[in-house]
Structure 1
Amino acid sequence: MPEEQLFKTEERVTRAEITEALRDAADQIESGSVRLANDTEKRTVTVPENPRFEVELERLTDSETGEQRYELEYEIRWTK
């Protein structure tokens, strides 16, 4: 299935800023409409009443340096 990325943002922020963003996202998800925005683009999407929700924690190891990093992902997905 071809993938089309519609929006992405990534930046280093404090835990407090992440918490604020997740609380705002939770309020938007509860209302059924989520607005995504950065400096160059804006998107709004309607979230259905019963989407699939996935939480994933991964530990990744750099093959060259052996350095480990963690990724914690919250994913909401649905079909149209």
Structure 2
Amino acid sequence: MPEEVLFKSERSQSRSEIATLLRTVADNLDAGESITLRAGGEEVTMDPPASPTFEVKAEREGPVDGPGELSVEFELEWDEDGGDGDSGSLEIE
């Protein structure tokens, strides 16, 4: 299935700025509200269902024998037809 990027933003930000953005997403999810992403002249609003699939991934990219780039990715997925995702057990500390 081909992928269509609806919105993308990437820039260095402080841990505090990132936490504020993630808190806004968490608050909107908790309240059952949509999530609007906005950067420059781009904007997209998405309305996750009650139980989307939540994917968490920790990665290291680069050579096996040298320093690389580390990342933590958080992703919400759901079918456009409104179907809810499969739930699983996850803990984050």
TM-score using structure 1 length: 0.89
What residue in structure 1 maps to residue 16 of structure 2? 16
Aligned to 2:60, what secondary structure does the other structure show? strand
Q: By how many angstroms is 1:43 displaced?
A: 1.0
What residue in structure 1 maps to residue 46 of structure 2? 45
Give the Cα–Cα distance (whole angstroms) in 2 for the partners of residues 6 and 55 of structure 1.
20
For structure 2, the residue ranges without an aligned partner over 5 or more in a row are: 81-93
Per mean C-alpha deviation after superposition, the further-off stretch among 5-14 and 25-34 is 25-34
Runs of 4+ residues deviating >6 angstroms? none
Give the Cα–Cα distance (whole angstroms) in 1 for the partners of residues 15 and 53 of structure 2.
26
| Cα deviations by residue, 1:6-42 (Å, 9 ceiling, x for unpaired) | 0010010100111111001111222231011011111
Give the Cα–Cα distance (whole angstroms) in 2 for the partners of residues 14 and 59 of structure 1.
21
Q: By how many angstroms is 1:70 displaced?
A: 0.3
Q: 2:60 matched to 1:59?
A: yes
Q: By how many angstroms is 1:69 displaced?
A: 1.0
**Equivalent residues, number:** 79
For structure 1, the residue ranges without an aligned partner over 5 or more in a row are: none
